A = this chain, B = another copy of it.
């Protein structure tokens, strides 16, 4: 409502989307070549690998990565079949499923990470000064936090109208 975008903002928006699209394409390729995984699968594994207890519920795991429950179930099925994660019922809540990364999963992430970091360094950070990099971090943290507050209206699919 109200507030149009300045032409300058439109250019910023386009530059952001194009940059990230290209970056996404580059890292997707790297992840596939180095680890035979899609980027989504890599994100899920990376999230598990960095989780405090190295296990999350399906819902926690989905958050911010996947936008439908069935999508996550599908990806988790593939990862489990590949032996990279393990699922077991949660003791706390019988409805929930706990997902844990396996040793093989950790190994896979380790195989991907160095090359991944090279790509991100080369594509995203190399044209930026140290100052720029810090600034970008601050900006995107603000944006991400703001977006997280917005009703994602997807994973927590609580249909109203339809």
Which residues from chain A sit less than 8 Å from chain B, CB to CB?
1, 3-5, 8-13, 15-25, 64-65, 67, 117-118, 120-128, 132-137, 139-148, 150, 152, 154
Residues of B within 8 A of A65 (CB): 21
Q: From known contacts A1-B118, A24-B17, infer whether A8 and B125 are also in contact, taking CB-CB under 8 Å.
A: no
State whether B5 touches A125 (Cβ < 8 A): yes
Q: From known contacts A128-B139, A132-B139, infer whether A18 and B117 are also in contact, taking CB-CB under 8 Å.
A: no
Q: From known contacts A5-B125, A22-B152, infer whether A142 and B132 are also in contact, taking CB-CB under 8 Å.
A: yes
In the complex, the chain B residue whose C-beta lies closest to that of A39 is: B17
In the complex, the chain B residue whose C-beta lies closest to that of A118 is: B1
